[in-house]
Structure 1
Amino acid sequence: MTAEMYLPQFVVKQKLTLMVNRYEISTIGPDGKPGQLMAFAEQKRMAFKEQVTFYADASKTRPVFGFKARKVMDLGSGYDITDEAGQPIGFFRKDFGASFLRSTFHLEGPGYAGTGQERSMLVAILRRFTDVPFLPVHFDFVGSEGRPMLTSERRVSVGDRYTVTVPDQRVDFRVAAAVAVALDALMAR
């Protein structure tokens, strides 16, 4: 089964501002550079209940999907991903026990479930105990049947840039984009 909105690869580019993190999600052009803008999002810093809305463009006139924390302060409750009508299309949560040394997340959607983890134990430890900027933080999500679902790879640049690859056609672009932004926003990179 192929997701309603399947995109095998895209780029997430973060732009830092004083009060919000801005994200542009684009296709990848034939030259390997960002192509068509697929979504634009802003995440308010220090919000009590985490919520990120993705819009069709930077004018922010048409919301197209988003994610929102289920509870205000329950760290393990997770985040619902919804389409533009507010209907659920996915869910993710951080596994705090498994994340002690290497951040781990669980992802669910229609017909699939999987777990994602920081690829490198060394980078995960360095990220926790040092202040080294521009670490190559990569996440790999694997389905419950053991097949690759989604990868998010950070490229070294000014502002965070991620290449997101989605080999599992069941994973909707909106779910993959929400998780890719959450990996950056919720881990305060």
Structure 2
Amino acid sequence: MSDRGTTGSGVTPGWATMAPQHTPPDQHGRPDVTLPTGPQPPAPMVVPAFFVKQRITVMVNRYEVIGMNPDGSEGPLLAFAEQKRMKLREEVVFYADASKNRAVFSFKARQRLDVAAQHDVFDEYGTPLGYFRKQFGASLLRSTWDLSAPGIEAVGRERRQSIAILRRVWDLIPYVGDVWVPFVFHFDFVDTATGATVLVSERQKAVRDRYTVTVPDPRLDFRVAASMAVALDALQSR
């Protein structure tokens, strides 16, 4: 089985056993995260559409990444994510399933306790796949993210600035801001070079957080797309 998967035909990501691809570490002991530029072929793992659902727990944030069938219904579980708690640097690990016996990819912040930290995405062997970071200044009024992957430089923003401002005003109102309100907000990521849509995350009207994610650009690896989609929920309040 190859390390390639699509959900359009009902095929799950192939979490195949592959030989580790060692990347020389940088001076801090991390793998080099320099990504290739220029035209790129389709990513090793392409999933054009999927769902992200948050599991309601008290102590830890957990997410299910679920494939989308051709008819738009839920397909198989693609990954199970868990946010590490009490970490100085934010980290989310994605597992093959809820048993958590096999970690298949992850993302981790480079800087400690930094709202604008760069988060690197790694495959299961520690090879860098891409990175993302929040634009702190621009996000004061409208959440904005940079997303980078081989051949892709994209910017994602909240679709409706009115909702973005309303969420911020609501949080500032004494007592009222403590009342949880499931604001429905969406993100659109576009290629900075072409203006083409790269990734879209749309929050659904539901009690618990649930998102529909579409990835029109086949150059964007599923593991990067899923990491960004989960981060939009897990790190949104940072």
What is the TM-score when the length of structure 2 is the normalising length?
Answer: 0.76
User: 2:81 matched to which residue of 1?
Assistant: 41
Counterpart for residue 125 of structure 1: 165
Q: CA deviation at 1:45?
A: 4.5
> Residue 152 of structure 1 corresponds to which residue in structure 2?
201
Q: Judge conservation of contact 1:19–1:44 (CA < 8 Å) in 2.
A: no
Query: Aligned equivalents of 1:129 and 1:46: distance in 2?
Result: 29
Give the superposed CA RMSD.
1.5
Indicate whether 1:143 and 2:183 are aligned.
no
Q: Aligned AA for 1:99?
A: S
Corresponding residue number in structure 2 for 1:66: 106
Which residue of structure 2 lines up, in the alignment, with residue 87 of structure 1?
127
The answer to whether structure 1 residue 3 and structure 2 residue 43 are counterparts is yes
Cα deviation for residue 127 of structure 1 reads: 1.0
Counterpart among 48, 52, 66 of residue 12 in structure 1: 52
List per-residue Cα deviations over 1:149-175 (Å, max 9, x = no partner).
000000011210000000011100100
> Could you give the per-residue CA deviations for residues 106-131 of structure 1, whole angstroms, max 9, x where no partner exists?
00001111100000001101111114
2:84 touches 2:93 (CA, 8 Å); kept in 1?
no
Tell me which residue corresponds to 2:116: 76
Distance in 2 between the 1:154 and 1:109 partners? 24
Q: What do residues 135-156 of structure 1 show as CA deviations (whole Å, max 9, x unaligned)?
A: 1110000001210000000001
Give SS of 2:139's match: coil
Distance in 1, matches of 2:69 and 2:233, equals 23
1:57 equivalent to 2:106? Answer no
More strand by share: 1
Equivalent-residue separation in structure 1 for 2:159 and 2:128 (angstroms): 28
- 1:76 CA displacement: 2.5
Counterpart AA for 2:150: P
Q: Partners of 1:14 and 1:56 in 2: how far apart?
A: 16
CA distance in 1, matches of 2:86, 2:232: 16
Q: Runs ≥4 in structure 1, deviation > 4 angstroms? A: none
Matches of 1:171 and 1:100 in 2, distance apart?
27
Matches for 1:163-182 after TM superposition, within 5 Å: 163-182=212-231
Q: How far has the Cα of 1:31 moved from its partner?
A: 4.3
The aligned length equals 189
- Normalised by the length of structure 1, the TM-score is 0.95
Residue aligning to 1:27: 67
Q: Distance in 1 between matches of 2:116 and 2:207?
A: 32
**Cα displacement (A) at 1:134:** 1.6
Q: CA deviation at 1:49?
A: 1.3
Note the C-alpha offset of 1:77: 3.0
Q: Deviations over 1:80-114 (max 9, x none)?
A: 00001010001000001111100000000011111
